[in-house]
Chain A
């Protein structure tokens, strides 16, 4: 504990106290009966455009994003910048698809993607597949939020051995678990305001301060080794980075809103109009994301990897230490405290929403569907609250006992798995033409093939697809979901002919659509 940065630590703790009290106080905010699942798990569907915007921002721009995106740029250069086109194409998709889903869910009191698929295609097994995919894909993502927290706690100079080393993380998570249990989705919504303010301040201050220190972008980019500066020009017979880069961006953008916590944020909106306003407002975050990505280059220019005082951090956290090291290097202690608080709170907000989303899924689409078919409202909300605790402590145990690289591998596979719900959820927003069994076969095929492809390339994101002697390296998830959609389209008439089609329970017709 001899290297503790006390000023930074004091400010960091201060912000944690502030958000903890705000998290507990949130139970009384726009008060509702927290014994009802939609009050606890969706904030009573009462959030306007601004709160939904903050909540979705908290969802999508996580601590892991702030640590990992610059770390990727720091380590791999230009290709790490794919997060920016990802954000650019994500919002038009959001704009077209999610106001519709919001509308269906509001009308039929759906709380999860599982509910939506169940109602849309009348197939409980498909709903189960979507539910399990959502839960399994979210868990490693939730665990990675803890890595973000771990990195900043380590960078504050707090270290120890064995149980003591994990103690700060356990305390932070226990607090998070407590206020999520008592306030539900209102807790992360109230904290998201603080989180966003801190993130904006940190990102802009970092860029301005470091630019002044270096003299400008030309000095920074001059320090970047030329292979990292641009995408590698593809060799003969392959599309190289020219297909890897855009498929990573597009595939990740499609997967982004299929994660259960995104839908939880969206469904908490009070009106379809608020959802649409969000799609128009959310690009406001993308510029910050771009600036954060550039911090990877700033870290290269600052030469933090070669400074002896950060050697331990890089040894322990790898490239993920690039941004914390840069902040420690370039900022006074008090501002380091603010910046690290931004990252730390940036971990808690999405972690809370993710645990709520998983709890909602379990309660609605597993417990209610397969275990207790007729719960009272109170029982249902209580199941979800307990589940949210179980999920968080599961993630904590995972991070404490399993090496971080496995969480990263699982997160990578999670992206491949979650995108397989695209035909049922995203395309399901536009049509109920698909047969539920065809969707289930497509889902299974996409999941298996995607997983096999990812394992075949040693769990890296892109897979070199060979067609007629030509190589198209691309994001595995996107290739797998193309297979999935193709199968669904060809198998739908087949299953319909087998009379396996069931009438959708709610018989949603397109004339229902009003936003």
Chain B
């Protein structure tokens, strides 16, 4: 990656990928439900726990993609 593009601005087009998790968990009407249950857990809980993993994967992807 050319130095002028990445280092000077410190910006990468991979970064917007990090916004996905904000949208995923900061809009409660989307997941404030009990149905469907998963292994006995209401959606409200398993949905957010699933985002823990999804968020970790997204952050890891951005890390790998922007690492030099």
- A contact set with B: CB distance below 8 Å: 78, 81, 84-85, 87-89, 91-92, 95-96, 100, 216-221, 229-231, 233, 241-242, 245-246, 249-250, 273, 276-277, 279-280, 283-284, 286-287, 290, 294, 510-511, 513-515
Number of interface residues of B (CB under 8 A): 39
Q: Which residue of A has the minimal Cβ distance to B56? A: A283
Q: Is the Cβ of B60 less than 8 Å from the Cβ of A88? A: no
Please pick, from B18, B44, B56, the residue contacting A284 in the complex, using a CB distance under 8 A.
B56
Q: Is the Cβ of A218 less than 8 Å from the Cβ of B8? A: no
Q: Is the Cβ of A89 less than 8 Å from the Cβ of B21? A: yes
B10, B28, B60 interface centre (most CB from chain A within 10 Å): B28
Q: Which residue of B has the minimal Cβ distance to A510? A: B8
A81 to B51, CA, bound (A): 13
The 15 listed contacts between A and B (C-beta, < 8 Å) are: A78-B44, A81-B44, A85-B26, A92-B19, A218-B37, A220-B40, A242-B28, A242-B29, A245-B28, A249-B26, A277-B63, A279-B59, A294-B45, A510-B8, A510-B9
Q: Is the Cβ of A241 less than 8 Å from the Cβ of B34? A: no
Q: Is the Cβ of B59 less than 8 Å from the Cβ of A246? A: no
A45 to B10, CA, bound (A): 23
Please pick, from B32, B33, B55, the residue contacting A91 in the complex, using a CB distance under 8 A.
B55
A242 to B44, CA, bound (A): 13
A216 to B37, CA, bound (A): 12
Contacts of A221 in B (CB 8 A): 40-42
Q: Which residue of B has the minimal Cβ distance to A514? A: B7
Q: Is the Cβ of B28 less than 8 Å from the Cβ of A241? A: yes
Q: Is the Cβ of A230 less than 8 Å from the Cβ of B32? A: yes
Contacts of A242 in B (CB 8 A): 28-29, 32
Q: Is the Cβ of B7 less than 8 Å from the Cβ of A88? A: no
Closest-CB distance, A36 to chain B (whole angstroms): 30
Q: Is the Cβ of B26 less than 8 Å from the Cβ of A250? A: yes
Contacts of A78 in B (CB 8 A): 32, 44
Closest-CB distance, B16 to chain A (whole angstroms): 10
Q: Which residue of A has the minimal Cβ distance to B41? A: A217
Provide the B25-49 mask, 1 if CB < 8 A to any CB of A, else 0: 1111100111001011110110011
Q: Is the Cβ of A280 less than 8 Å from the Cβ of B59? A: yes
Closest-CB distance, A79 to chain B (whole angstroms): 10
Q: Is the Cβ of B63 less than 8 Å from the Cβ of A286? A: no
Please pick, from B32, B49, B63, the residue contacting A84 in the complex, using a CB distance under 8 A.
B49
Contacts of B10 in A (CB 8 A): 100, 510, 513, 515
Q: Assuming A217-B39, A230-B44, is B7 touching A92 (CB within 8 A)? A: no
Q: Is B22 an interface residue (CB 8 A)?
A: yes
Q: Assuming A217-B40, A220-B40, is B59 touching A92 (CB within 8 A)? A: yes
Contacts of B37 in A (CB 8 A): 218
A230 to B27, CA, bound (A): 14
A515 to B63, CA, bound (A): 13
Closest-CB distance, A370 to chain B (whole angstroms): 34
Q: Assuming A89-B25, A242-B32, A249-B25, is B63 touching A279 (CB within 8 A)? A: yes
Q: Is the Cβ of B8 less than 8 Å from the Cβ of A513? A: yes
Please pick, from B9, B22, B52, the residue contacting A286 in the complex, using a CB distance under 8 A.
B52
A229 to B37, CA, bound (A): 12
Q: Is B1 an interface residue (CB 8 A)?
A: no
Q: Which residue of A has the minimal Cβ distance to B54? A: A88
Listed from nearest, the 8 A-B pairs whose CB atoms lie closest are A218-B40, A217-B40, A283-B56, A92-B18, A85-B25, A280-B63, A246-B26, A286-B52
Contacts of A88 in B (CB 8 A): 21, 24-25, 48, 51-52, 55
Please pick, from A89, A283, A513, the residue contacting B7 in the complex, using a CB distance under 8 A.
A513
Q: Is the Cβ of B52 less than 8 Å from the Cβ of A287? A: yes
Closest-CB distance, B34 to chain A (whole angstroms): 6
- Additional 17 contacts, C-beta under 8 A, given A81-B44, A89-B25: A84-B48, A88-B25, A95-B59, A219-B40, A220-B40, A230-B33, A231-B32, A233-B32, A246-B25, A246-B26, A276-B66, A280-B56, A283-B52, A287-B53, A511-B7, A511-B8, A514-B7
Please pick, from A233, A246, A276, A277, the residue contacting B27 in the complex, using a CB distance under 8 A.
A246
Closest-CB distance, B44 to chain A (whole angstroms): 6
Contacts of A218 in B (CB 8 A): 37, 39-40
Closest-CB distance, B10 to chain A (whole angstroms): 5
Q: Assuming A84-B49, A217-B39, A217-B40, is B67 touching A230 (CB within 8 A)? A: no
Closest-CB distance, B59 to chain A (whole angstroms): 5
A87 to B60, CA, bound (A): 15
A145 to B52, CA, bound (A): 26
Q: Which residue of A has the minimal Cβ distance to B43? A: A230
Closest-CB distance, A61 to chain B (whole angstroms): 14
Closest-CB distance, A190 to chain B (whole angstroms): 26
A78 to B42, CA, bound (A): 11
Q: Which residue of B has the minimal Cβ distance to A87? A: B52
